[in-house]
Amino acid sequence: MSTPVTRPLRVGIVCPYSFDVPGGVQFHVRDLAEALLARGHDVSVLAPADDETPVPPYLTAAGRAVPVRYNGSVARLSFGPVTAARARKWLSAGQFDVLHLHEPVTPSLSMLALWIADGPVVATFHTSMERSRPLQVAFPLVRQSMEKIAARIAVSEDARRTLVEHLGGDAVVIPNGVYVDQFADAQPDPRWTGTPERPTLAFLGRLDESRKGLAVMLGAVREVLAHVPGARFLVAGRGETGEQQARELLGDQAGAVEFLGGVSDEDKARLLSSVDVYIAPQTGGESFGIVLVEAMSAGAAVVASDLGAFSRVLDDGAAGVLFRTGDSADLARTLVEVLGDPDRRATVVARASSVVRRYDWSAVTDQVLAVYEMAVAGRDAPVGEDPSSLRGARLLEMRRGWGENR
C-alpha cells in the first residue's frame, strides 16, 4: 500500500445509519472523522438524524430515518427523493477530493450518494453474513454504480468474504479503530470494581437483540454462582426486556445481575477498566467485535463466543478465552475456570495489551489515508454529480415514500 497522503484533503463521509440511535458503524464514522480532522484534513459527514438530535459540528443531518429489520438487528435508514435531494446539495457544496461511503449496497443514504456521485469514491463494507436476501435484492440496483468505486475496504475478513461472495470483486481489510489509550488510561470505578470474593463481569449490548447473546449469558449465571457465590454480572445497554428475562430465568438469583442502562463513552471505559471479565456472548452477525478491542484495551479479560470474527480479534484465543457459540453451559464452565485462575487472566490480558495496538486509530488512519491516496491518484477534479443520476431521481420520485423524511 502506498504512503499516506500528507496534503490536506477535503473528505466527505456518508453514514447510512441514523445518529438518533447510534451503533457500531456510526461510532466508526464519528471516530474516523475526528481522527482525520486531528491530522488537518477537512471532513464533512452526512448521516440521517432528526433536526433535534445533538450531532457533532462536522455532521450534516439528512433528516428522519425509519426502522428496518436487517441482519438480525434494526437499522434506522433514510431513502427517497427528499433524502436524495439533500445528498445532492451536500455533495455539490462539499467539493470533496474523496467521497467515503459506508455500506453503499444497503438501500440507504450511502446508496443514494453512490448513484449521485462521480469522482474518487471509496467504500467500506461492514456486514458479515453467510446468506443475504437483502444483498441479493439490492445488488441489481447498484451493479452499475459499483463500478464507480475506486477502492473498497472491508473491516474484517468476514466482511470481505461477504462482499466477494455476494457482490464480486475484492477489498483491502482495514479493521475498525479504537482510541486504545482512552480505555487503557480510564480509571476504575469503585461501584464496578471486583474483589476475589466478589468478582465483576460485564456485558455491553442492545438488550432487545437476541444475537447480542444476553440470554446466553443469563443462562450461565446459576452455574457460575454455584461456584463463585459473590459474582456480580453488570449489564450495560438499552432495551426493555433484559430485567424481565433475568427474573424469569433466575428467580431469586436475579439480584446477581445489575442493569446499568445506557452508559456514556466515559462510563463505558471506566466500566471495562473496573471489571475482572468482559463477556461477549453474541450468537452471529458480527463482522468484527469492536467492544472486544475496547475491553482488551481497558485491561479486562475477554471471554467470547468462538465466532470467526471474534476468534481473529482475540488472536485465535491467545488474547482472550473462547467458548462454544450459543452454549450457556460451556460459557459457565469457561467463566468458572477463568475466575478461578488469576494467572491465566493475567496472561491473556498481557497478550491483549499488545494485540490491541494494531487497532489503534493512529494505525488505522494511516491505512485509510493510503486507500484515499490510491483513489485520488491522477484525479484533479473534485467529486461531482453523475449526470445519469437524474434518471434514478425520477424513479425515486415515482416510488416516493420508502423511508422518506417528512
Distance CA 202, CA 231 (A): 11
Residue 223 has, within 13 A of its CA and on its CB side, a CA count of 16
The C-alpha cell 457465590 sits at 229
- Residues 272-286: b if buried by 16+ CB within 10 A, e if exposed: bbbbbbbbbbbbbbb
Q: What is the pLDDT of residue 402?
A: 46
| Per-residue pLDDT of the chain in tens (406 residues, 90 and over written 9) | 444 556 899 999 999 999 988 788 999 999 999 999 999 999 999 999 988 889 999 999 998 877 666 555 656 677 778 888 999 999 999 999 999 999 998 888 999 999 999 999 999 999 876 555 555 555 566 667 788 999 999 999 989 998 888 888 899 999 999 999 999 999 999 999 999 999 999 999 989 889 999 999 999 999 999 999 999 999 999 887 888 899 999 999 999 999 999 999 999 999 999 999 999 999 988 888 899 999 999 999 999 999 999 999 999 999 999 999 999 999 999 999 999 999 999 999 999 999 999 999 999 999 999 999 999 997 777 898 887 765 555 554 444 444 454 4
| Helix, strand and coil percent figures for the chain, each rounded to 5 | 45, 20, 35
What does the DSSP assignment read for 370-391? HHHHHHHTT--SPPEE-TTHHH
The C-alpha cell 484495551 sits at 297
Q: Write the CB contacts of 331 (distance below 8 Å, at least 6 apart in sequence).
A: 216, 217, 219, 220, 279, 281, 303, 323
Q: What is the pLDDT of residue 406?
A: 41
Which domains does the chain carry?
A: 10-177+360-393 (3.40.50.2000), 180-358 (3.40.50.2000)
Distance CA 378, CA 390 (A): 27
Q: In this structure, are residues 72 and 285 in contact, taking their beta carbons and an 8 Å threshold?
A: yes
Q: Write the CB contacts of 23 (distance below 8 Å, at least 6 apart in sequence).
A: 17, 73, 206
What CA dihedral angle connects 38, 39, 44 and 50, to 10 degrees?
A: -20
Q: Write the CB contacts of 205 (distance below 8 Å, at least 6 apart in sequence).
A: 212, 213, 214, 237, 282, 291
Q: Is the dihedral of CA 71, 356, 235, 26 positive or negative?
A: negative
What's the gap between Cα 288 and its chain centre?
A: 8
Copy the grid coordinates of residue 223: 452455574
Q: Is the dihedral of CA 141, 165, 19, 9 positive or negative?
A: negative
Copy the grid coordinates of residue 179: 482510541
Q: What is the pLDDT of residue 403?
A: 47
Distance CA 317, CA 310 (A): 9
Q: What is the pLDDT of residue 195?
A: 95
Q: What is the pLDDT of residue 340?
A: 97
Q: What is the pLDDT of residue 81?
A: 83
Distance CA 128, CA 287 (A): 5
